[in-house]
Structure 1
Amino acid sequence: MEDYILTLLNEIPPVEKGKRVVLGIDGLSRSGKTTFVKKVEQHFQEKDIPLCILHIDDYIVERNHRYNTGREQWYEYYHLQWDTEWLTDHLFKKLKSSEGLHLLTYDDSSDTRKSQVVSLPETCLIIIEGVFLQRKAWRSFYDYMIYLDCPREKRFNRESETTQMNIEKFRTRYWKAEDYYLETEFPKKQADMVFQY
């Protein structure tokens, strides 16, 4: 992984004074995104470059908007889990210009969203991490995109034993949505860099 990070450091646009660079870390569930982001964070901190890290899963909607809606489960997961239009207007469009983002952060324990302000330094690297980041609605907002490519079997084996017991949910909800994303958005082809692990 260290080699990957060094390669990345040489590839992404430099974070110049007074500018923000938006880096996307895309990948399907359990592909290693969080671990990868921590490594990237460590390297940029050593270079004294201000960072702002956003996890797209922090901005999902309440359960009643994404479960039992009458649509197929994969559709609910891909199209309804996030309010794509709202995030386009309140997050993505403001990354380069706003001093702060006014976002709605999801709390799993209460199934509610709470207002949160994320401050953005004038000079910084903004890292957005999550699944389905290369939707057409969001693609143009990144300066550089990394896609972590990991086989489904390997990713599934990283789930807890309890989670693995409900394989039908993966078949009808998660994997169908992943297939849709791969077949319609071509994330491996669209990304600036693909890492396999």
Structure 2
Amino acid sequence: MQEGTLLKAILNRYVDERFILGFDGLSRAGKTTIVEEIRKGLIDNEKTVCVFHIDDYIVERKKRYDTGFEEWHEYYNLQWDVEYLSQQLFAKLRDAEEVTLPFYNSKSDEIIQRTVVIPHDCIIIVEGVFLQRKEWREFFDFVVYLDCPRQTRFERESANIRQHVEKFKTRYWKAEDYYLNTLCPLSKADMVLSS
């Protein structure tokens, strides 16, 4: 089981101080599901775990749609405030006792500031797409990439969403291709899992 191999790899590298694990992969690859299994496994091994989901920090719709840029550019470059997260999340993960971050409420399209307490000796897991972008990659001690074929990921979308295949072609898949071809995340990851 891949999760068991990953759990062993984390436990072998963790030494009673903060350990920052990046869990990268494209949309609908199954990252959140595996991260939850790993979190449970680490707790079973009496480790303290703190999980951050990058999609919690998406910016408001007006900042990422109809901006005048191509749709793939909006998704890759404007979906998150990359520089803000670099400074207010990633740069603080090693030492801060807490971080205050802009949580996105998708129902109201509003940002709500929330403070997250980070235990001193813990394993921090950051999960999301495009984690190995140049602004963030250096902050991780270990990066896992969850590889999953595009067709499999697309089939995991609801039937209603799958009807809008053109949006996938112009927004999501172009951004994914840019990431895969420009940053080569599979070759830069410390471990690659398949889903």
> What TM-score does the superposition give when structure 1 sets the normalisation length?
0.96
CA shift digits 1:75-121 (9 cap, x unpaired)? 00000000000000000000011000110100011111111101000
- Per the alignment, residue 92 of structure 1 pairs with 90
- Per the alignment, residue 196 of structure 1 pairs with 194
Alignment of 1:119-138 (within 5 A): 119-138=117-136
> Which of 138, 141, 149 matches 1:140?
138
- Match of 1:75, SS state, is helix
- Match of 1:67, SS state, is coil
- Per the alignment, residue 175 of structure 1 pairs with 173
**Unaligned stretches of 5+ residues in structure 1:** none
CA shift digits 1:43-73 (9 cap, x unpaired)? 1010110110000000010000000000000
**1:9 Cα shift?**
2.4
**1:5 Cα shift?**
1.9
**1:6 Cα shift?**
1.9
Q: Does 1:110 pair with 2:108?
A: yes
Equivalent position amino acid for 1:101 in 2: V
- Superposed CA RMSD in Å reads 0.9
Mapped partners of 1:5, 1:173: distance in 2: 31
**1:172 Cα shift?**
0.3
Mapped partners of 1:180, 1:39: distance in 2: 30
* Identity value in percent: 51
Mapped partners of 2:106, 2:37: distance in 1: 26
- Per the alignment, residue 23 of structure 2 pairs with 25
Q: Which runs of 4+ in 1 moved over 3 A?
A: none
Do 1:24 and 1:145's aligned partners in 2 also have CA atoms closer than 8 Å? Answer: yes
**1:4 Cα shift?**
1.1
- Per the alignment, residue 59 of structure 2 pairs with 61
- Per the alignment, residue 162 of structure 1 pairs with 160
CA shift digits 1:143-167 (9 cap, x unpaired)? 1000000000010000000000000
- Per the alignment, residue 14 of structure 1 pairs with 13
**1:16 Cα shift?**
2.6
**Unaligned stretches of 5+ residues in structure 2:** none
**1:15 Cα shift?**
2.9
- Match of 2:95, SS state, is coil
Mapped partners of 1:51, 1:156: distance in 2: 30
The alignment of Structure 1 onto Structure 2 pairs a total of residues equal to 194
Equivalent position amino acid for 2:105 in 1: D
- Match of 1:40, SS state, is helix
> What TM-score does the superposition give when structure 2 sets the normalisation length?
0.97
